[in-house]
Amino acid sequence: MRAGDPGHRVRGLDARSRVDASIPERRCRWLRVTTASPAGAPDADAGERTLGPRVLVGAGALAVAASVLGGLLGPSLIEDHPAALLAIDSRNRHLALATATALPAWAFLVIGLVRLTIADPVFYRLGRRHGSVALRRLDREAPALARQVRRAERLLEGRWGLPTVLVAPNYVVSAAAGHVRMAGLTFALLNLTGTVGRLWLIWTVGRTFATPVDWLLQAVTEHRVAITLVLAGLLLARARRLRSTAGS
């Protein structure tokens, strides 16, 4: 068939259209993390379900384990090793008691900021890439936690979305923000701003009421063994309740 025949031109157009069609597909995959998509859409391509999810889940599990460990070690470390404790777990009660120790303000701010924000991008990424799969699993294994995530998603999708991340940028809110496809830059700016404000507020209040905070610190240190046992008992009771809920 001659090059000028209509059939030849049609086959040539088909060939070029097949080549051109492959370009947007690759481009869409590359833009997947920056373009909005419905929360119920598939979270990741099959080729992404190898190293990435394992690293993310491992990092998230490490952050949760550090929080649990810090909660148990808090009464023993808070007076003599406040910096080490805040590096392990910077929950509000540890931050408040640390204001009555010899820890300087700059160390309080730097350690607290790093510890409070270092794991949030991990949970945001988990929610963005694997939120639907994770929620279905939580529905089976930890329904109470699944309800918390869905409650956070409803807040983020409504008028209280930005204030929620600003005031309470915890693991659940971070994962929910990723799942509802909140813009990454918006999430990061709100997270950092809210965390700095929270640290400043705790430091200011703790220093303002230094006498009662110092009394509380001494009481915790004096009864650290009993408090640790109570915290361990509460942790075991919560784990048992979650297990029984998942099995029902």
Q: Count CA atoms closer than 13 A to 36's CA, side-chain side.
A: 6
The tokens for 243 are 């297990």
pLDDT at position 10 over 50: no
b/e map of 135-173 (b: 16 or more CB within 10 Å)? beebeeebeebbebbeebbebbeeeebeebbbeebbbbb
Name the residue with higher pLDDT: 49 or 182.
182
Q: Based on C-alpha coordinates, what's the Rg of the chain? A: 25
| Amino acid making up residue 149 | V
41-55, 76-90, 127-141 — most confident range: 76-90
Q: Please report the pLDDT score of residue 61 as a whole number.
A: 83
The tokens for 36 are 């909005």
Least confident of 59-63, 142-146, 217-221: 142-146
End-to-end CA distance of the chain, in Å?
A: 72
Average pLDDT, the chain: 79
19-28, 140-149, 185-194 — most confident range: 185-194
pLDDT at position 121 over 60: yes
Name the residue with higher pLDDT: 244 or 170.
170
CA distances to 96, 104, 144 from 213, rounded to whole Å, are 8, 16, 33
Residue 247 pLDDT grade (very low, low, confident, very high; cuts 50, 70, 90): low
Q: Please report the pLDDT score of residue 53 as a whole number.
A: 66
Q: Count Cβ atoms within 10 A of the Cβ of residue 12 and give its class: 0-12 exposed, 13-18 middle, 19 or more buried.
A: exposed
The residue-averaged pLDDT of 234-241 equals 83
Residue 109 neighbours by CB under 8 Å, 6+ apart: 196, 199, 200, 203
The residue-averaged pLDDT of 213-238 equals 93
